[in-house]
Amino acid sequence: MKKFFNKRAVILLTAILAVVAFFSFKSSDSRTFQLAKNMEIFNAIVKELDMFYVDTIDPNKTLREGIDAMLMSLDPYTNYFPEEDQSELEQMIKGSYGGIGSMITYDVKRKRSVIAEPYEGMPAAQVGLRAGDILLTLDGKDLEGKTNAEVSEMLRGQVGTTFSLRVERPGVSKPIDFKIVRKSIQLPTVPYAGVVSGKTGYINLNSFSGNPSKEFKQAFLDLKSKGITSLVIDLRGNGGGLLDEAVEIVNFFVPRGKTIVVTKGKTKQAASVYKTLREPIDTEIPLVVLVNSGTASSSEILAGALQDLDRAVIVGNRTFGKGLVQIPRSLPYGGTLKVTTSKYYIPSGRCVQAIDYKHRNEDGSVGRIPDSLTNVFHTAAGRIVRDGGGVTPDIVVEQEKLPNILFYLANDNLIFNYATNYCRKHATIAPAEQFKLTDADYADFKAMVKAADFKYDQQSEKILKTLKEAAEFEGYMDGASAEFKALESKLAHNLDKDLNHFSKDIKNMISIEIIKRYYYQRGAIIEQLKDDNGLQEAVKVLANQGKYKEMLTVAAKK
């Protein structure tokens, strides 16, 4: 009896302790309890679906979509990479991958991928692949109907492996076969550097992946050996990359020991201070940094730090506003979680993060932090700068709006196809600096567009249609029908008129497409710079050293 009583007492005591522990755990750490509770619920739901759902579920697909949705509710930069996607993450961090070194596009009519741009010095260019080549088979496998993503995955692979590629080349009667050896593709982070005006140097920095500081340093030293007395750094469209590479480039222009970036997060590991650690190359050369809405992350660190330290004049448009830092965390089964762990703060103490992902609207959407809620900070000289919205340039250059027709010409591959045909007829062209599309060339292009029965939408027609519907609904149409008819007549499609009116923008796009077939990315940049408002403003500022110095003083910013 005593033994039985003791056994019952132990069971009862255990149950009581479990209940007490449960409620103690719940009350003292409700957040931990909620995590455990919801993980258990999630696990149960997956098991129930697997057992009872009417169709057999694919666990990889279903759970991956659940993981991606969960991470997307946090921010766009926290991502999961399973073992099979590690090459994508490696490319993001190192800027390299195993492949042939070429961009591909998609021909909707042929349902096939097409070589869009072989990169200079890479396997695709070395074996003789050209822009416009239509991909037929890879190791005998027909590529018809496969998406660009699928074809890209097939083109990539382990460095040193060989595969066969059959293509159809416009103007050539029979398919062409290539044997290609995959190499480690490391795209240049400085695709072009040169002297653009007098003694003003120019460096185009397009990424912070890999080792851009090394390439930038070599380009800068080469320009200095040519006698430059000022420098333009072009960060437009640079989406960022490695934070410490941005700090390294800042260090080329500012003294040793300066604090450039401070990161702050929830954990001690997320808190870091990044200072300039080396002796600079040149602390006196006048600098202008070109930025736009595509300038993000590490690019904003470089531009923002040089602005905060009054070391450069920033020209262009407000930058993207990404002030978040991610690190990779290893997961089971070879996966990796790229997770946002902190925000970064540049020398003035401001954070450039423009979107508040924590405080979402009721529908889950997010928006930029309004200017009214941003805070004032000061540069080293006392100039006013603000947080919460990217880096605002010292000189704003209005972004040119491309005409609507240009979008449709590019989308229908008419510019691409014209460039392909042009290159068939011209074995060589003038150097990129001297090339110019002739009036006869443009006449040929217009004839090709007309022969293709090209159709496009006009925004003015759409707006007029909406206005007409509103007028009819509100009863104003009777008195305004004549005016509407007159306006419709004036806004009617006139392809000849539009091709002539927007010829400058269309010619520029055609010229870029042609030049990069011969001189690759470097040539395309040279062509773009021929009529670049941002660069012209930068050169203008650097030519007036009085204005340049004035802009970097406290009196320059009200």
Active-site residues, by number, are 297, 308, 322
Q: For tokens 């992946």, what's the residue?
A: 209
**Cα–Cα distance measured from residue 346 to residue 25, given in angstroms and rounded to the nearest whole number:** 41
Nearest alpha carbon to residue 411 among 466, 452, 460, 442: 452
- 379 vs 174, 348, 486, 549, CA distance in Å? 64, 6, 56, 14
Count of H-run helices and E-run strands, the chain: 18, 21
β-pair type (200-204, 230-234): parallel
**Cα–Cα distance measured from residue 319 to residue 306, given in angstroms and rounded to the nearest whole number:** 14
Task: List phi, psi (to 5°) of 443.
Answer: -65, -40
Helix (H, G, I), strand (E, B) or coil at 344: strand
Q: Dmax of the chain from CA atoms?
A: 111
**Cα–Cα distance measured from residue 540 to residue 543, given in angstroms and rounded to the nearest whole number:** 5
**Residue 296: what residue type?**
A
**Cα–Cα distance measured from residue 195 to residue 231, given in angstroms and rounded to the nearest whole number:** 9
- Provide the 8-state DSSP code for 208: B
Task: Give the H/E segment covering residue 308.
Answer: helix 298-308
Query: With contact defined as beta carbons under 8 Å apart, do 271 and 263 qualify?
Result: yes
Query: With contact defined as beta carbons under 8 Å apart, do 153 and 141 qualify?
Result: no
Q: For tokens 């490696």, what's the residue?
A: 90
- 308 vs 213, 274, 373, 381, CA distance in Å? 20, 15, 20, 8
